[in-house]
Amino acid sequence: MLFLFILLLCARESHSSRVEHAEGPVQLDNHVGSMFPKIAPLGAPQGPQPFLPLLAPSPMTPFTNISIPKLSGLCSLNFTNAKSLLSVTAIDCWGFFAPFVANIMCCPQLEATVTVLIGQSSKHTNALALNGTVAKHCLSDVEQILMGQGASGDLRQICSISSSNLTEASCPVKHVNEFNDMVDTSKLLLACADIDPVKECCYQVCHNAILEAATAIASKGSHVLDLDASHDLPEHSIRVNDCRNIVLRWIASKLDPSHGKKVLRGLSNCNMNKVCPLVLPDAKQVAKSCGSGISNRTACCNAMESYVSHLQKQSFITNLQALDCAETLAMKLKKSNVADDVYSLCHISLKDFSLQEYGCLLPSLPSDAIFDSTSGVTFLCDLNDNIPAPWPSTSQLASKSCNKSVNIPALPAAASGQSCLYSRHVLIFLLVNLFFLAMALV
């Protein structure tokens, strides 16, 4: 059994002055000022943790102990091309920490990296997909490379990726020449060569161009007359979706690897922020204590707190996802006859939806974990503790997504009405106690 002790050390930097949050993107500030570190082991019982000042254990030297991966020699991808993407992926998917950032960092980065690798290789092979045999070797090689740099060994499961994701799947087009013949490539490139990750989520210019291209190649072999009828079939949408991957690889073949990755992460980020990734358990207990008129506030808030504490064991999320989660939970509660704004009654804030008590919300724009040899694996939080979770009114629900996306780099919309907010940027240090690791390996 492998004992991996992960310590979360939240270093908070409170800005001495109040910051107005009327508009504009939040500055991400990554310098570490005076801090009040605090340690909470993952999976520890909920409840206020003591504020423990603790010096970081000695640096993670073995992080840099990159082992030489055993490669199959049968994969046609050129890993040299995407070396830096692979090392970022290894850090984003790092060991024990991968499942907690799977949805927001690890898997989007892994998918983008694989797409770039295949896209780049198409420049030589003329193919935007690998055949089944090669795909198996390549996925395994990618895993080996990433694991050699500290990534979790369980990425297939964590990111539900399999070797078929490297093939053309059901898409009928995989050769570059054929792609070029069927798609308005200059239009596609114009829309997608450079995307603004904020505007893209709202106006979906590249997204729509991709969909158009994917639909075009998916129609190969269909008769024009069949098309209208087949549009509604589930096979058709699976096909278009598989062709979407082909289109993404084509785009990645036209851009340099790091830029291509940026575009891909920007695209996947729009979808990611639209959905609450948390599993919301049954709210019976909350409904019982808070439903049909709240007779006992303490009992209601106890039930709420207990409910939220289950959410806090799941995953890190972005600030926009926290808004989605707050809204989804509110709808669930309303359906169970909880009519009152229990968020404000019980002082539930957005960060309460994130992993663990002192959890932080990640910025809504794509972000990566950072490795440095003194502090280990770190990532930046876009935390604003004081944003109360908004209880949606019926009218709010209707006018959703685009407006929200427009505000992506800014604080969640809920903040704008507040007059005094502290801006806090938190660095979470993920420290792995290598001493325990070493002991377990002996």
Ligand X SMILES: *[C@@H]1O[C@H](CO)[C@@H](O)[C@H](O)[C@H]1NC(C)=O
Instruction: With CA atoms as reference, report the closest residue to 405 among 275, 208, 270.
Output: 270
C-alpha to C-alpha distance for 61 and 434, rounded to whole angstroms: 9
- Verify binding: residue 258, ligand X, rule CB under 6 A: no
C-alpha to C-alpha distance for 10 and 360, rounded to whole angstroms: 9
Instruction: Return the residues of window 45-74 that contact ligand X according to CB under 6 A.
Output: 62, 65, 67
Q: Which of 402, 418, 435, 440 touches ligand X (CB under 6 A)? A: 402
Count Cβ atoms below 10 Å from residue 390 Cβ, excluding itself. 20
Instruction: Return the residues of window 262-321 that contact ligand X according to CB under 6 A.
Output: 296, 298-299, 302
Minimum CB–partner distance for residue 68 and ligand X (Å): 7
* Residue 254 tokens, joined: 């036209």
- Verify binding: residue 170, ligand X, rule CB under 6 A: no
- Verify binding: residue 399, ligand X, rule CB under 6 A: yes
- Verify binding: residue 165, ligand X, rule CB under 6 A: yes
* Residue 216 tokens, joined: 């075009």
Binding map of ligand X across residues 117-156, x = CB under 6 A, - = no contact:
--------------x-xx----------------------
137, amino acid identity: H
Please count the residues of this chain forming the interface with ligand X, following the rule CB under 6 A.
24
Minimum CB–partner distance for residue 431 and ligand X (Å): 16
Which of these segments, 95-103, 160-168, 185-193, 354-362, binds ligand X (CB under 6 A)? 160-168
- Verify binding: residue 167, ligand X, rule CB under 6 A: no
Length of the chain: 442
DSSP letter for each residue of 118-167: HHHHHHHH-BSS--HHHHHHHHHHHHHHHHHTTB-TTHHHHTT--GGGGS
Instruction: With CA atoms as reference, report the closest residue to 340 among 294, 302, 287.
Output: 294
Q: Which helix (H) or strand (E) holds 281?
A: none
- Verify binding: residue 13, ligand X, rule CB under 6 A: no
- Verify binding: residue 111, ligand X, rule CB under 6 A: yes
Which of these segments, 23-31, 357-365, 402-410, 415-423, binds ligand X (CB under 6 A)? 402-410
- Verify binding: residue 157, ligand X, rule CB under 6 A: no
Please answer whether residues 139 and 145 qualify as being in contact, where contact means their C-beta atoms are separated by less than 8 angstroms: no
- Verify binding: residue 373, ligand X, rule CB under 6 A: no
Rg (CA), the chain: 23
Q: Which of 58, 64, 78, 126 touches ligand X (CB under 6 A)? A: 78
368, amino acid identity: D
Q: Which of 42, 205, 294, 406 touches ligand X (CB under 6 A)? A: 406
Which of these segments, 95-103, 157-165, 357-365, 389-397, binds ligand X (CB under 6 A)? 157-165
Nearer of residues 30 and 373 to ligand X, judged by Cβ: 373
C-alpha to C-alpha distance for 117 and 108, rounded to whole angstroms: 14
- Verify binding: residue 374, ligand X, rule CB under 6 A: no
